[in-house]
Each structure stands twice: as structure tokens, then as C-alpha cells.
Amino acid sequence: MTDDCIFCKIIEGEIPSHKVYEDDKMIAFLDVNPVSKGHTLVVPKKHVENIHEAEGMNYLFDGLVEVSNAVKEAFDAEGVNIAQNNGEKAGQEVFHLHFHITPIYEGNELDITYNRTELDEGEEVAEEIQKRL
């Protein structure tokens, strides 16, 4: 746990939350500033800053699936967006690994816009990634 981390304080019970799930390794609670009804965060109890430090945390995927299914079913959402940001430039605001489960309803579809281009030098790009796996 980190003393200045808001999620660590929620995990320790120092800050109240609307908890929807908890086990010995992770916790899920409602986002205090939700994008939509049921917007939930899935957070490992072990403090790691981002996905690049999450080796061995495969259990998060099972929890993410279970909680996202519950969120979708609870409010009959038409879809669910799952997001996880790494680093300030990627939109990370709390530097404790977490996943956003955002239910999508008719009329509030997400508008995620990227400046996409055609794939260029695909072989070389793939090779650079493959070298590191």
C-alpha cells in the first residue's frame, strides 16, 4: 500500500466507497465520477502503478469478466466498454492500476476518436514487438 494513493486508502477502508465486489486480491467499486450508471472500477489490492508492473496478476482478468457481466446484467446495458490507461499521456489520473467498466446505453454511446492512418511498415513494426516477447 502507498500512503498517498486514493485507491490504497479505499482498499484499507480509510476512504468510503460503494463496493460491489471484493476478494483477497482485488476490489471493485463504483466510480465516484461515473460516465454512466454502473460505471465500476476493478482494482488489484497490491499497489502497482500500471499494466507494465502487473506481472502475475492474471487473476484480474477473471474478476474483470465477472464484474463486467454483473454490471451489464444489473442495468440491461446494451454494451460495456472496458478501458485501462497507462501513464499521464494515456489519460491515467490515479497511478494505481485499475480497469474502468463503463456500461453503454441507448443515447449515450461512447465517442472514442483516434487519428487513424493506414498501416505502414507492418512487418518491421511486428518484428520489433516480437523481439521483446
- For residue 98, indicate whether it is catalytic: yes
Catalytically annotated residue among 39, 47, 98, 100? 98
Assign 81 to helix, strand or coil. Answer: strand
Burial of 7: CB neighbours in 10 Å, binned 0-12, 13-18, 19+: buried
> Residue 84's closest CA among 98, 72, 94, 96?
98
- Give the position of cell 460503494: 18
Active-site positions read 98
